[in-house]
A and B are shown apart, each in its own frame.
Chain A
Amino acid sequence: MAMTGVLRPGHVQMRVLDLEESIHFYTNVLGLIETGRDSQGRVYFKAWDERDHNSVLIRQADTAGLDFVGFKVDSVATLDQLEADLKAYGVMTERIPAGEMLETGDRVRFLLPTGHTFELYAEKTDIGNGQPYVNPEAWIPAAEHGIAPVRFDHLLCYGPDIEKAQAILQDVLGFYLVEHIELEDGSGDLAIWLSTSIKAHDIAFVRHPEPGKLHHVSFLLDSWEKVLRAADLMSINRVSIDIGPTRHGVTRGTTIYAFDPSGNRFETFCGGYQSYPDGKPIKWTMGDVGRGIFYHDRALNDTFLSVVT
């Protein structure tokens, strides 16, 4: 079966405390490509191998954190259908008209019970990856500028009521559970990893008392070697590293957690296995949660559950 419905996380908008410092960081250190600025003062970026106009937006604010995440769906018809489905499920939705975000069509916006603003959209202008669609090369110079991830890959959100968010994403939008960490008393999960594709996760949640918090936005690299190169670049540029390079037990991805200049955590990530909707979810218990999150340290660090924006 082809991949249909909700395809992937396509854009994320984050707040930064100093726009100029952040533009430098996202352009030259993380190595995204700036693709536009709008009248609201937002700056747009994409990773070099992404074809759609933008995937990361930042705006100056007096707090750090996540404004919203948007998932791309396969067609306008699907967007209309999912909007109706969400309403029928009892979720209040709002339409943001095409053009409010540069080169992006209508967005259907709603609030997840975890306090995160979630959007669906069907259209974003294809500006290509710097290569022709006929007889391209393997990569372009931008693939070596800064950390230079291939794409925005997934995000980890912190908030309450993760089972309610899970229900909406599964029942209405077609996500499926790939891995989870069960709370000690068996009353539910501490954390869930959900996929809408064959990635090991497209979005994940950790139970947390404060709503709407961002743990990290993740960027995909091609190889473990490039994760190590990213670590070198973080030291060269004095980027604050949270942990890594290491590996997650959950998803088996190799990783570094680090912080942008405003304290928004980002991840440079490689691998993770491929999953399918018919796969049985993998369960982790609280007794082994350290190994699940950080496979080599086999313990959570001080910041994993407490430092969010």
Chain B
Amino acid sequence: MRYSVQIEETGEVYACTEQQSLLWGLAQLGRKGIPLGCRGGGCGVCKVAITQGDYQTGPMSAAHVTPEERQSGVVLACRCYPRGDLSLRVLGKMQRTVCAPGGGDAAKASEQHQPAVQ
């Protein structure tokens, strides 16, 4: 089954199957700098809030998503699989990358503790 996922901030819509994580689908947008982090629910870079729709989750670190947050639909996108059409908001470290007009480069330049690299 193929579902559509809408990014609320930008209005963009992408397709994602039941077996594919929301992060995988997001990365398929090809936006430069979308961080494919650990993809195991451990590092917390892919935090999103599901505002609408059904989904299933795998194990994810409580250091990045508290039980209360989870109740309110906050998940790590790499451990979240759609079970219907979804709408989401991007949180945390990924926000600047997904929502910045310049994509990855703008996000990188504003990253605080990231030293300048060529």
Contact = CB atoms under 8 A, between A and B. Distances in A.
Nearest to B40: A263
B15 to A, nearest CB: 20
B100 to A, nearest CB: 13
B62 A307 contact: no
Nearest to A308: B43
B115 A289 contact: yes
Across the A-B interface, the 8 shortest Cβ-Cβ residue pairs: A263-B42, A263-B38, A263-B40, A64-B42, A17-B59, A62-B62, A240-B39, A63-B63
A299 B116 CA distance: 11
A307 B104 contact: no
B44 to A, nearest CB: 9
A235 B108 CA distance: 29
B118 interface: yes
B61 interface: yes
A259 B60 contact: no
Given A262-B42, A302-B108, A306-B45, 15 more contacts: A17-B41, A17-B42, A17-B59, A62-B63, A63-B42, A63-B62, A64-B61, A240-B36, A260-B40, A263-B37, A263-B61, A299-B117, A299-B118, A303-B37, A306-B37
A17 B115 contact: no
B33 interface: yes
A150 interface: no
Interface residues of B, number: 28
A257 to B, nearest CB: 10
Interface residues of A, number: 34
Contacts of A289: 115, 117
Q: Is the interface of A mostly helix, strand, loop or mixed?
A: loop
A309 B115 CA distance: 20
A140 interface: no
Contact of B117 (A62, A260, A300, A306): A300
A100 B116 CA distance: 45
Interface in A225-281: 240, 259-265
A290 B33 contact: no
Interface of B: 33, 35-43, 45, 58-63, 78, 93, 104, 108, 111, 113-118
Interface in A14-52: 17-18, 21
A240 B93 contact: no
Interface string A195-208: 00000000000001
Contact of A262 (B37, B45, B59, B117): B59
B38 A307 contact: yes
Interface in A285-302: 286-287, 289-290, 298-300, 302
Contacts of B35: 302-303, 306-307
Contacts of B36: 240, 303
26 contacts: A17-B60, A18-B59, A21-B59, A62-B63, A63-B42, A63-B63, A64-B63, A190-B115, A240-B36, A259-B38, A261-B40, A262-B40, A262-B59, A263-B38, A263-B43, A265-B38, A286-B116, A289-B115, A302-B104, A302-B108, A303-B35, A303-B36, A306-B35, A306-B45, A307-B37, A307-B43
B42 A309 contact: yes
A92 interface: no
A305 interface: yes
A305 B40 contact: no
Highest count of chain A CB atoms <10 Å: which of B36, B38, B41, B111: B38
